[in-house]
Amino acid sequence: MNDVSSAPHRPAAGARLLARLACSALLAFGAVQAQTAGPDLRERLAACAACHGERGEGVAGSTYYPHLAGKPAGYLIEQLQAFRDGRRHYWQMVWLTQYMDDAYIAEIAAYYAAQPPHTQAADVGAPALPAAVRERAEQLVHHGDAQAGLPACVACHGATLTGLEPAVPALVGLPQDYIVSQIGSWRDGTRRSKAPDCMAKIAAALSPADIRIVAQYLSHQSPGAHDEPAAAGSLMPPLACGDLPHAQVTP
Amino acid sequence: MIRRIALWSALITLPLLLLGAAAGGVLLLRQGGLAPYRVPSGGAITTAGDAAEGAYLARIGNCLTCHTVRGGTAFAGGRPFRTDYGTLYSTNLTPDPKTGLGDWSAEAFRHAMRHGVSRHGVLYPAFPYANFAHLTDADLDALFAYLRTLPPVEARPPPNDLRWPASWRGALVGWRMLHYRPAPLPPAPADAPPEWLRGRYLVDGLGHCAMCHGTRGAQGSLPAEGYLAGGRIPGQGWYAPPLDARQLARYDVDQLADYLVTGNGEHGAAYGSMAEVVYTSLRHLRADDARAMATYLKSVPAHGGEARPDTGRFLYAAAQPVANPHNGGRLYQDHCASCHGDGGEGRGRDYPPLRGAVSVTAPDPVNAVRLVLYGGMPPTTDGNPRPHSMPPFAGRLSNAEIAAIVTHIRRNWGEQDRPVSAADVAAYYGIRGD
């Protein structure tokens, strides 16, 4: 009996597009593993839990470590591979990923992706932002700055900033220092994504003052009920990023 | 008057000069005479070697690991090696004519592998030519044939960043005169089985195990008496244990062969430099080769007779142990016992026993300290595809607390009485990047 022909629905156009992505085979493998191996895998990932929490929900009081729970698996795979292959240089992560093969990486990514999203504001209880900071941040996050060549954050990360399947991460629920550090790393080349590296271009176009303002604003946001990443294909990002689909923009 | 001074000076200095020349000549002979410096030129580029076997041998010899920079093109070189004399970068082994081995002859390749001298001059001894000298012609030709099948990549490694005189390749002739003593493998016992012979060939040849597991002498040398005797690995921040009958007594041959291929076993998983060797090389070992290596390693006579090696006093940061206010036993119960057991007995293959572990018994505490600081994730292999990890404690426990825990486990289950201090932990703090 052929599994594909017996499936009740033919894959939709979006799903077929997804299937063409290089990581999709790994995703599928990882998802199957994650379903069968929740508690078992959690026990194996004690090293991850130390900084990211048992289910990737983050650790209370942490001012740096990002949460992993509910982030798109494609994004998590790319990050683990980036630590292993020299595109990210946080040495504790390199230490733990450097002898890890793609199959295990995919399984770990699927495990955290399957956890309930954690997108609570990171800086809960922080004093409200001054009006000028808030205005500038909202301009950049929701509308971008065409003059500086900056698209809006929401154009790729979703209207609620909770990410976009299969590989764009949430921007809410992250500590301010983590966001500043990542954008800084893109600027000096110590964090790289697969070419074309859209975030490197954005980081280069952001002024240092704007980086701090955006990070401050993002770390205060809480998405409320809509904390799942946007569905694949529901949004067409304006920039080419790695091998992800994007709108054809004439320069 | 002047003539008399000149006469007397000549009478004194001439014999000294002659003596010096004679000593130099002897030393030159002992490092192989002048033959190593006659690099063959011309000769056939192509070889009749078996490229498929060469691919396997390149895996087992771990050429890939040293000659590939993290995330870079395989075999295109550029990986940094930090030494006491500065930083070296590995070379491009792809057949690119300008920056790789493109126009090398098979003969020149054999010569470089055996003698450590190429058209570029004397090679730095980070390249294990002392081991590769034992390879057969057939294996060297197979390796060369395989390297010639790689896509040529134009890639020049960064220039070496070494201090004088190490920066001058000519100085390496002096180093070889002092420290390099090429010799064929000693005659094997008459009744040595083929498996033992194959194991020795792999361990001492391609495997170049002694590069990490040998005890280093002066100026980074590997004197014969330090053969597989264990020590701190240069530039890696890990201690490699001795490889001999006593150290490996915990394993039978099958268990040891299994450990080499899977990176895991009843006595714990591979970590640090060994995890890399398993991940990039040993997991590809053929089953019979793994058994052969295990057979040979378990036959190496115990170092230092029955006495325990005591090199510990050289490997601690503080000259005198410092009193530690923390209770290591209580901290162990709070942070370690749930996985490693109340008595350090471990649990199955996934939570290694601390009793008898290398990190706990070794004279050098560096492995124990660094594992507690930064945790670990064993290499993924077919035999251990989903490894259990150990959490890092850096940032969660203070240096003094980590020192107390390490002291506790080494005292109780390693018979290592010397306390580890917060200064030791501080000395091993930090992950060295590429």
Interface of A with B (CB under 8 A): 37, 41, 43-51, 84-87, 89, 91-92, 94-101, 103-104, 107
Q: Which helix (H) or strand (E) holds B161?
A: strand B161-162
Question: Residue B83, SS3?
Answer: strand
What pLDDT score does A2 carry? 37
A38-43 contacts at long range (C-beta below 8 A, 24 or more positions apart):
A38/A111, A41/A107, A41/A108, A41/A111, A41/B386, A42/A111, A43/B388
CA distance A46 to chain B (A): 5
Please list the pLDDT of chain B residue by residue as tens digits (434 residues).
Answer: 788 888 888 888 888 999 999 999 999 888 988 889 999 988 777 778 999 999 999 999 999 999 999 999 999 999 999 998 999 999 999 999 999 999 999 999 999 999 999 999 999 999 999 999 999 999 999 999 999 999 999 999 999 999 999 999 989 999 999 999 999 999 999 999 999 999 999 999 999 999 999 999 999 999 999 999 999 998 888 999 999 999 999 999 999 999 999 999 999 999 999 999 999 999 999 999 999 999 999 999 998 765 555 555 567 777 777 788 899 999 999 999 999 999 999 998 899 999 999 999 999 999 999 999 999 999 999 999 999 999 999 989 999 999 999 999 999 999 888 899 999 999 999 887 77
C-beta atoms of B376 and A47 within 8 A: yes
* A88 located within any domain: yes
Q: Is residue B144 part of a domain?
A: yes
Chain B environment of A34 (Cβ under 8 Å): none
What's the CA gap between B39 and B275, in Å, rounded?
Answer: 36
Q: How far is B275 from chain A (nearest CA, A)?
A: 7
Residues B128 and B77 in one domain: yes
Provide the percentage of residues in chain B whose pLDDT is more than 90: 80
* Chain B contact set for A97 (CB, 8 A): 377
Residue with tokens 């070992």: B285
Tell me what pLDDT residue B44 has. 76
Residues in B closer than 8 angstroms to A91, CB to CB, are: 431, 433
Give me the interface pTM, i.e. the ipTM.
0.92
Residues of A in contact with B392 (CB under 8 A): 47, 50-51, 92
B37 class by beta-carbon count within 10 Å (0-12 exposed, 13-18 middle, 19+ buried): middle
Q: With beta carbons under 8 A apart, name residues in chain A contacting B388.
A: 43-44, 46
- Asked if B368 and A89 touch (Cβ cutoff 8 Å), the reply is no
Mutation for B interface: A42, A99, A101, most B CBs within 10 A: A99
Instruction: Classify residue A133: in a domain, yes or no.
Output: yes
Q: Would you state the pLDDT for residue A30? A: 46
> Directed axis angle between helix A208-220 and helix A176-188, to 10°?
150
Interface contact flag, B380 A104, Cβ < 8 Å: yes
Buried-state track B342-369, b at ≥16 Cβ within 10 A, e below 16: eebebeebbbbbbbbbbbbbbbbbbbbb
Asked whether residue B301 falls in the same domain as residue B349, the answer is no
Contact B377 A47 (CB under 8 A): yes
Same domain, B204 and B302: yes
pLDDT score, position A19: 42
CATH number at residue B238: 1.10.760
Q: Could you list the residue range(s) of the whole structural domain that residue A178 is in?
A: 3-220
| B331, B414: one domain | yes
Contact B367/B236 with Cβ under 8 angstroms? no
- Determine, for residues B377 and A101 on separate chains, whether the beta-carbon distance falls below 8 Å: no
User: What domain range includes position B261?
Assistant: 192-306
pLDDT tens by residue, A68-84: 999 999 999 999 999 99
Chain B hits for A52, CB-CB cut-off 8 Å, are none
CATH of the domain at A149: 1.10.760.10
A100·B377 Cβ contact <8 A: yes
| Together in a domain, B259 and B279 | yes
Give the chain A residue whose CA is nearest to the CA of B280.
A99
Same domain flag for B280 and B322: no
For residue A184, give the nearest of A75, A71, A89 by alpha carbon: A89
Smallest CA–CA distance, residue A133 to chain B, in Å, is 33
Asked whether the beta carbons of B144 and B106 are under 8 A apart, the reply is yes
